[in-house]
Chain A
Amino acid sequence: MKEPEPTLEAGPAQQKQQSNKSESLVVIDQLVKQFGKLRAVDNLSMTISAGETFGLIGPNGSGKTTLIRMLVGLVKPTGGSIQIMLERMPSAKIAPRIGYMTQLSALYNDLTARENMRFFCNIYGLRGKEQKQRIDEMLERVDLADRIDSVVSTFSGGMKQRLSLACALVHGPRLALLDEPTVGVDPELRRSFWDYFAQLNKEGVTIIVSTHHLDEAARCTRLGLMRFGVMLAQDSPEELLHQSGQANMEDAFLYFARSYHVPERS
């Protein structure tokens, strides 16, 4: 018999947030995605508030990427609903306010960093002086200012990742969905990324990020632990540690994974 899903318990951090920002930016209700026999996302429900960084933690194949792709509208859900900024998805209206970063670096390899960013700025309607300013600022943030006119095919994997993040955020989205943004990025730069995410949160930007790094998990406002398309637990990092009685996020994850019997699916 299936255990009831862990409910969204409002931990102390959350309660504080909810009193400040009552709007739920993203509302997901009983979301299902079926690929043939495979249930990639299984009856997922959650809400994400404005201005928070929501981390998706889980092994490969847990459905994190599928969830993100459904949120941006690349994949059509089999069941359930998604609401972003009060718009029922799919909706073209909110496209300008969303930033998306895939696992593939998704850059034009034959163009320079500047040309890539210019293109994305142009299709998001960012022009002129403001465009130039934002491009310079973002490339500074991801530490690629010295390679602005280099062709992307000459970049290392980590550099492509950084440029990809810059392209995702250059147009100043209200909601950023980042699929493993720190792969191949050195620890110092990783830390500065997360400092930037915290700053974005202060500015009211909401971030949904998936990651394997459990030290990054600690910096999220709230976490969602996923496995086999199911949300095992979602709460602030402190609350999750408290609930599981574990000392670190890794053990907490294993605790939740074990205590939630997910039948093996093909």
Chain B
Amino acid sequence: MSFSRVMALAARIIQQVLRDKRTLALIFLVPLLIMTLLYLVLTNTSSARTLAIVYPTGTGSERIKTLIDSLLPGQDKLHTISISSDQVDNTLKNGNADAAVIFPADFAQQILNNQNPTVQIKLQGSDPTVASAMSDLTQSFTHQLGIAIAALKSQGGNVPSTPTTTLPFTVGTPQYLYGGPQYTFNDSIAPVFIGIFSFFFVFILTSVAFLRERSQGTIERVMVSPLTRVELVIGYICGFALFALVQSLVILLFVIFALRVHYSGNLALVFLVSALLTIGSVNLGIFLSTFAQNEFQIVQFIPLVFGVQIFLSGIFWPVAQLPGVLRPLSYIMPLTYANDALRGVMLKGADFTGIIGQLGALVLFALVMVLLSAATMRRQIA
């Protein structure tokens, strides 16, 4: 094994990438652009919803209204408007409210007479996520209202004029085992994107570079030279690992200082994960490029290699919540373990032993890929 030959190859790869300005922009600028867009989009998750309420209007309704208002969450969490019963459908249609709670006009009287009035909830419905959230919210709210009214009734058979809002117990400030109230969805997404970008770009660059070695005929020159196959693979790993690590550094610095993403743990471990991923994806790139005759055929591998992992590696949906039939697939994907490790480090402050299982899985992935690329190396030439 000649260190100088390996370095000569790594140096050549670095030269080639540096000369290609577009690829450099792709590796360094595109991830920052995507992270920024994600950040801006995801930071708006706290947009308050609007609830329209048709308040009861008959005798005794004032006290009910006061009770209702005291049970609603603050205006910053839920915006409420008061409408009349004939305005319900229009209000929902116009988008002025996401849902409506409709109290019959003689609600207070019916309560008094134990007539069991019906409170109607109506949801706008065109966005199922919103509808589901509003359904939960209104049902929980009306349930609370019911409990409050029932409790008050059992006290004195009547709704008191000023219902008490002081609780007989105190709720402590929520404590967090990991993270904190300032952590947002962004903070859980940022770490995994470091893994994704490492994996994706290195895979693409390696498979295209290797394909070009074949189509340009340079692979034959290299095979005839003293450079061994092992040195060839290691040279490629070293060359691309440099870019992967620099990319990870750039992204990390950007998300921490520019986007102010929160993190807990030892960031050196982030680079370790990135490096292991790179070894695996370089070899995957070499392996798959054997089956491609041109760059377009390599592009065809992207949905298979990469698209599937976006869905199944726990980026947006936790692996444990995936349908049972898909979960085994998640467990053979490198990004599943990389995401777990990266989140473990950045959100839970995990140390080396904390992510040792995931690191082991990534090492295993790298080994399997090395074997595959070695097996197909013979096929690189006639």
Q: Which residues of A contact B (CB under 8 A)?
A: 69, 72-75, 92, 95-96, 98, 100, 102, 104-111, 115, 119-120, 122-125, 127, 151, 167
Q: Is the CB of A125 within 8 A of B224?
A: no
Contact of A98 among B216, B224, B381 (CB under 8 A): B224
Which residues of chain A have C-beta atoms less than 8 A from B225's C-beta? Answer: 95, 120, 123-124
Does more than half of chain A's interface fall in helix, strand or loop, or is it mixed?
loop
Q: A95 contacts B221, CB within 8 Å?
A: no
Contacts of B226 in A (CB 8 A): 92, 95-96, 123-125
Q: Tell me which residues across on chain A come within 8 A of B223, comparing CB atoms.
A: 73-74
- Nearest-neighbor residue (CB-CB) of B225 within chain A: A123
- Shortest C-beta distance, B225 to chain A (Å), equals 5
Question: Are B12 and A106 in contact (CB-based, < 8 A)?
Answer: no
The CA-CA distance from A95 to B225 in the complex, in Å, is 6
CB of A119 within 8 A of CB of B8, answer yes
Q: Which positions 1-41 of chain B face chain A at CB distance < 8 Å?
A: 2, 4-5, 8-9, 11-12, 15-16, 19-20
Given A108-B16, A122-B5: A75 in contact with B217 (beta carbons within 8 A): no
Please measure, in the bound complex, the distance between the C-alpha atom of A102 and the C-alpha atom of B214, giving whole angstroms: 13
Interchain pairs with CB closer than 8 A, number = 75
A residues less than 8 Å from B218 (CB atoms): 106-108
Interface footprint category on B: 20 to 34
Provide the residues of chain B in CB contact with A95, threshold 8 Å: 224-226
How far, in whole Å, are A74 and B4 apart by their CA atoms in the complex? 24
The reply to whether the CB of B62 lies closer than 8 angstroms to some CB of chain A is no
Given contacts A92-B228, A105-B217, 14 further A-B contacts (CB under 8 A): A73-B223, A75-B382, A96-B226, A98-B224, A104-B217, A106-B220, A106-B221, A107-B216, A108-B218, A115-B12, A119-B12, A122-B11, A123-B9, A123-B222
**B259 interface residue per 8 A CB criterion:** no
10 pairs, CB–CB < 8 Å, chain A vs chain B: A72-B224, A74-B223, A95-B226, A104-B220, A106-B221, A108-B12, A111-B12, A111-B15, A120-B221, A122-B11
With A119-B8, A122-B8 given, is the CB distance from A109 to B382 under 8 Å? Answer: no
Name the distance in Å between A109's Cβ and chain B's nearest Cβ: 6
Residues of A close to B19: CB separation below 8 A:
110-111, 151
User: Once bound together, how far apart are the Cα atoms of A112 and B6, in whole Å?
Assistant: 20
- Tell me whether A74 and B216 are in contact (CB under 8 A): no
The answer to whether B8 and A110 have CB atoms under 8 Å apart is no
For the complex of A and B, the 7 pairs showing the least CB-CB separation, nearest first, are A122-B8, A104-B217, A106-B217, A95-B226, A100-B224, A119-B12, A123-B227
B226 (CB) vs chain A CBs: closest residue: A95
Among A106, A122, A124, A167, point to the contact of B216 (Cβ < 8 A): A106
In the complex, A123→B228 CA distance in Å? 10
* Bound Cα distance from A96 to B224, whole angstroms: 9
* A123 → chain B closest CB, angstroms: 5
The answer to whether B224 touches A123 (Cβ under 8 A) is: no
Contact B220 A102 (CB under 8 A): yes
